[in-house]
Amino acid sequence: MDYPYDQSRIESLRQEAFSAPKDYTAFSYYFHKGLQAKNNTEYTIATGEAVYYMYDRAPVYIAPEELLAGRCPVAPPLTAEEEREWQLIRKHALSAMPNGYGQTSHMTIDCERLLTLGAEGVMEEIRRLRSTLDLTLPEDWEKEAFYRSCIRALEGLCRYAERYADEAVRQAAGADPVRKAELLQMAQNLRNTPRKPAGSFYEAIQCVHFVTFALSAKPFFGPGSHLYQLGRPDRYLWPYYEKDLRGGRITQAFAQTLLDCFGVLLNTRIPGGLAAGYMVGGRDGKTGKVISNDLTRMIIRSVSHIRMIYPGVGLCWCSATPEEDLRLACEVLGEGHSHPAIFNDDVIARGLRFHGVPAEDAHDYIHSTCVEITPIGTSNVWVASPYMNLVQKLLDVIGRSDYAAMGDLLAAYTAHVADGIRSNLECEIRNRAQRSRHFRDPLLSCFVRDCLENGKDIEAGGARYNWIMPSFVGLSNVADALAAIERLVFPGEISWTELREALAANFEGQEDLRQRILNLPKYGNDDAAADQYVLLLTEMLTRAVEPYQKRPENHLVPSLFCWVMHDNFGRETGASPDGRRAGFPLGDGSGPAQGREIKGPTAAVLSSTKWEHYKFIGGIAVNMKFSKKMFRGDSLGNLLAVVKTYLERGGFELQINVVDRETLRKAQANPDAYRDVVVRIGGYSDYFTRLSPTMQAEVLARTEYEI
């Protein structure tokens, strides 16, 4: 099919996606009904049968103008009778299978296995593994049950694709000639894949989207279950694109249209306020080759075409990344988009090696939602599990004693944080145990190494990496607070009692003290005395998690990002010794707290890279806000220099916002007219008008740079 780039189609799909329903009730209903019908069957086998039952009956829907199939239905998901039945089934299901234990998705499947083998090829692999079993051994019988479940789930996936193909043919019967041809091509793609290996670029992109969508229809988890990422499309799609382009079977314009459809569809399956997308660039760890091709740049450009919160695109920069790729990313950001975020491939690969990933696999990772790094196709990693409020931990310690020396305060704080880490880990391990007893996920297990090889479901520990990634929120606030305490309390300028009283009063009647605190040197201004506590805190956190590392299960990987938790924690946290008032969001990542980097972006970059980032591959977010003037003429070169300085000094990830305050103020006053204004928060993007008032205030408080 030979198209020019279809801008009007993308705009139409984009507008429709703003209000697309994301109701997965039907999937849950059919899964649990199928499971209930097999309640006398061994649970692992019954799960595979329930997955087939779900895909055999779940709604199918293809929207007008769509070129890729797979999304939530627009029609009501259940009839009135089914809804009544679902309420009864749901009550029983939740009592038998407790909800809320841990996490799912936040990962990328093995797209290469999917595209090169197809479901039938994976089934053949499973049959080969089954042939080696000795069913007189209990452990092999467990593997047999797992393999049977996987095959049935794969058959269900193929059945679901066939039903979509049938729907495309049905719609084609009443369509105009152009649309009829599109629908029949869609049907052909769906009959070929995911059943068989992908044979073209169009089939490959349809296959990856469809399987990811099917996995997102989790029947037993909440909104977080939809957060399957789409990996590295400029890698796994490249052989198909190159072959089709060389053979005259596709044009770059049509490929761009498909890539944009691919991105828009994320907004039809994932609720707002979360994060999902894909990465481009970086280095191939097996060959050392830098990934930079047409698809790399087409995906970056697609951000300008889509202009929505999803997909979250990440450009992976390494020391050999072509200048044109980084420049293009900055130009797109300069248009006011919140993507791409810029990740440091060299630092992340070093971090993955530190955490035990072989060098040849250390460049094969994904920002699993916001900035959390997980190895592609091998992970059952629980990210941000849990978040810890570092500011509240400091307030707890301050309330306990009048410390005689800074060392005493730091020792007490370190012990309190370490106790929290251990307690949180114990809770997560209990959650893992609950999950392993109550859940199975046979379809996902087919595309996560080494589940098939181990003969174990992903929920039973079959994946290669089963890490837990706690995230620590409020780093900059604690650093500034400790610096203020050192300057004011220990020299005797104020007493512990006076500090506690000021905090309890939220600085009411103590504005002079608050201003004294706010005017002290702050993290983010390349001031050694102010920055020293970030170095101390990050070293303290790495030491605190060390006892729980280098072990095969539940290896701890620390993070310093926040998603929306800096706002949530801020609302429930009292005033803090850094001058922050009660209720205001904590620092939005690991960079300087909002509005405190007063010496410009270079100083902020220098401060933010004085400590080692590579151990924190659970995720680091540094937000910077630039004036639109920075993206014109010579200023763009200055901006590139700042970005490269951050990366070359070992910065993990950089998020750039280029939305001026005037636009944000207008959006506050007239939200309906500015519903598509997107801002970057603590690792993810959201529509500004949908943010809470405190989050909007936090975004407005960020320093806007000019160079």
Q: What is the CATH number of the domain that holds 563?
A: 3.20.70.20
| Buried/exposed code over 178-198 (b: 16+ C-beta within 10 A; e: otherwise) | eebebbbbbbebbbbbbbbbb
For residue 360, tell me if it sits in a domain. no
Chain length of the chain = 707
* Cα 113 from Cα 576, distance rounded (Å): 51
* Cα 626 from Cα 604, distance rounded (Å): 13
Residue 392 has pLDDT above 60, yes or no: yes
- Least confident interval from 20-34, 137-151, 245-259, 397-411: 20-34
User: pLDDT digits over 543-601, tens only?
Assistant: 999 999 987 778 999 999 998 999 999 999 999 999 999 999 999 889 999 889 889 88
493, with CB counted inside 10 A (0-12, 13-18, 19+), is exposed
For residue 276, tell me if it sits in a domain. no
User: pLDDT digits over 246-288, tens only?
Assistant: 999 999 999 999 999 999 999 998 888 889 999 999 999 999 9
| Mean confidence (pLDDT) of the chain | 92
* Under 8 Å between Cβ of 324 and 317: no
- Least confident interval from 319-328, 457-466, 586-595: 586-595
What pLDDT, on a 0 to 100 scale, did the predictor assign at position 92? 74
Question: Tokens in use for 346?
Answer: 């060299």
What contacts 216, CB < 8 A, 6 or more positions away?
24, 105, 225, 226, 227, 228, 269, 270
Q: 294-306 vs 7-18: helix axis angle to the nearest 10?
A: 60
Measured from the Cβ of residue 582, the count of other Cβ atoms closer than 10 Å reads: 16
For residue 271, tell me if it sits in a domain. no
Residues 70, 110, 364: CA angle, nearest 5 degrees: 125
For residue 347, tell me if it sits in a domain. no
Residues 245, 237, 309: CA angle, nearest 5 degrees: 115
Residue 239 has pLDDT above 60, yes or no: yes
What pLDDT, on a 0 to 100 scale, did the predictor assign at position 130? 97
Average pLDDT, stretch 446-450?
97
Q: Give me the percent of the chain exceeding a pLDDT of 70.
A: 96
Residue 170 has pLDDT above 80, yes or no: yes
* Cα 417 from Cα 475, distance rounded (Å): 12
What pLDDT, on a 0 to 100 scale, did the predictor assign at position 221? 55
- Least confident interval from 84-88, 98-102, 438-442, 447-451: 98-102
| Buried/exposed code over 438-450 (b: 16+ C-beta within 10 A; e: otherwise) | ebbbbbbbbbbbe
One DSSP character per residue, 634-696 reads: HHHHHHHHHHHHHHHTT--EEEEE---HHHHHHHHH-GGGGTT-EEE-BSSEEEGGGS-HHHH
For residue 324, tell me if it sits in a domain. no
Domain boundary (209, 243, 277) is at 243
Q: pTM for this structure?
A: 0.94
* Under 8 Å between Cβ of 351 and 614: yes
Look at 634 and 64; give whichever has higher pLDDT. Answer: 64
DSSP 580: P
For residue 586, tell me if it sits in a domain. yes
- pLDDT band of 245, cuts 50, 70, 90: very high
User: pLDDT digits over 353-391, tens only?
Assistant: 999 999 999 999 999 989 999 999 999 999 999 999 999
What contacts 372, CB < 8 A, 6 or more positions away?
106, 381, 383, 384, 469, 559, 561, 618, 619, 683
Can you name the residues that pair with 389 across neighbouring β-strands?
A: 473
Domain boundary (210, 243, 276) is at 243
User: pLDDT digits over 205-237, tens only?
Assistant: 999 999 999 998 876 555 457 899 999 999 999
User: pLDDT digits over 474-502, tens only?
Assistant: 999 999 999 999 999 999 999 999 999 99
- pLDDT band of 657, cuts 50, 70, 90: confident
Domain boundary (185, 211, 243) is at 243
Residues 33, 38, 41: CA angle, nearest 5 degrees: 155
For residue 95, tell me if it sits in a domain. yes
* Cα 489 from Cα 482, distance rounded (Å): 10
3-state secondary structure of 280: strand
One DSSP character per residue, 179-220 reads: HHHHHHHHHHHHHHTTTS---SHHHHHHHHHHHHHHHH--SS
Nearest to 226 by CA among 290, 269, 273: 269
Measured from the Cβ of residue 551, the count of other Cβ atoms closer than 10 Å reads: 10
For residue 375, tell me if it sits in a domain. no
Question: Based on the structure, what is the number of domains in the chain?
Answer: 2
Domain range for 76: 7-220+227-243
3-state secondary structure of 251: coil
